[in-house]
């Protein structure tokens, strides 16, 4: 059975990102996928110190033992598909998702990265109705570079406007694209 890890970069418990994640997760579960959602704002994730201790023998751990990342690494490694989900804040994905991504440095192995070859999907929502002005393109480019670096496969990138709480539910195009991406993830697994 394929394991799917959804990384929620939003702090809103009833926000648009959470609504869309739930829509996606409902389909994944109905199709028999084993999925887990990590609500990053509920976790203690500190910034990367840039010490590169994790490069010494490649322990697949971080020298920082005073936060949650060392407990999360095994969940990331065992996932077949990783989904990045975040609102766009100030022209990029959330700071909590950025902290998480920075800490992936500890998963380097000799000659590559432990996440090399995994499947990825992306879900972004933003308040602006103008794609060029919202910052979503910057976030998409950043994630694309990350996935390319890890020699990953991008299953899809869905993004759309949803500013106020409840707007995602009203954006029928966005909801349909999220459901389509969930089905694509199931078919790839």
pLDDT at residue 133 tops 90: no
- What does the block give as tokens for 132? 């060029």
Strand 108-109 with 112-113, pairing: antiparallel
pLDDT at residue 1 tops 80: no
Q: What CATH number corresponds to the domain at position 134?
A: 3.40.50.360
pLDDT at residue 109 tops 80: yes
**Domain tally, the chain:** 1
What is the per-residue DSSP string for 88-132? EETTEE-HHHHHHHHGGGGGEETTEETTTT-EEEEEEEES-S-HH
pLDDT of residue 119: 98
- What does the block give as tokens for 111? 């000659």
pLDDT of residue 189: 78
Q: Are 38 and 5 in contact (CB under 8 A)?
A: yes
For 16-67, the pLDDT digits (tens) are 999 999 999 999 999 999 999 999 999 999 999 999 999 999 999 999 999 9
**In terms of C-beta density within 10 A (0-12 exposed, 13-18 middle, 19 or more buried), how is residue 56 classed?**
exposed
Whole-prediction pTM value?
0.95
pLDDT of residue 156: 98
Task: Name the residue among 150, 80, 86 with its Cα closest to residue 113.
Answer: 150
Q: How many CB atoms lie within 10 A of CB 65?
A: 9
- What does the block give as tokens for 183? 């089905």
pLDDT at residue 177 tops 80: yes
Q: Are 28 and 137 in contact (CB under 8 A)?
A: no
Give the structural domain span for 57: 3-188
């Amino acid at each position: 059975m394929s394991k799917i890890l959804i990384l929620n970069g939003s702090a809103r418990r009833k926000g648009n990102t959470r609504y869309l994640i739930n829509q996606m997760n409902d389909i994944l579960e109905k199709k028999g996928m084993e999925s887990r959602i990590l609500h990053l704002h509920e976790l203690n994730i500190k910034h990367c110190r840039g010490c590169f201790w994790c490069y010494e023998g490649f322990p697949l751990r971080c020298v920082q033992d005073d936060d949650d990342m060392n407990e999360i690494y095994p969940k990331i490694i065992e996932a077949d598909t990783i989904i990045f989900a975040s609102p766009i804040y100030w022209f990029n994905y959330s700071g909590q998702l950025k902290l998480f991504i920075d800490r992936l440095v500890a998963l380097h192995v000799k000659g590559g990265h432990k996440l090399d070859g995994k499947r990825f999907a992306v879900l972004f929502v933003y308040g602006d109705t103008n794609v060029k002005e919202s910052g979503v393109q910057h976030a998409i480019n950043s994630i694309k570079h990350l996935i390319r670096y890890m020699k990953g496969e991008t299953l899809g990138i869905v993004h759309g406007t949803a500013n106020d709480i409840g707007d995602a539910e009203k954006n029928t195009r966005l909801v349909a694209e999220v459901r389509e991406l969930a089905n694509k993830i199931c078919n790839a697994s």
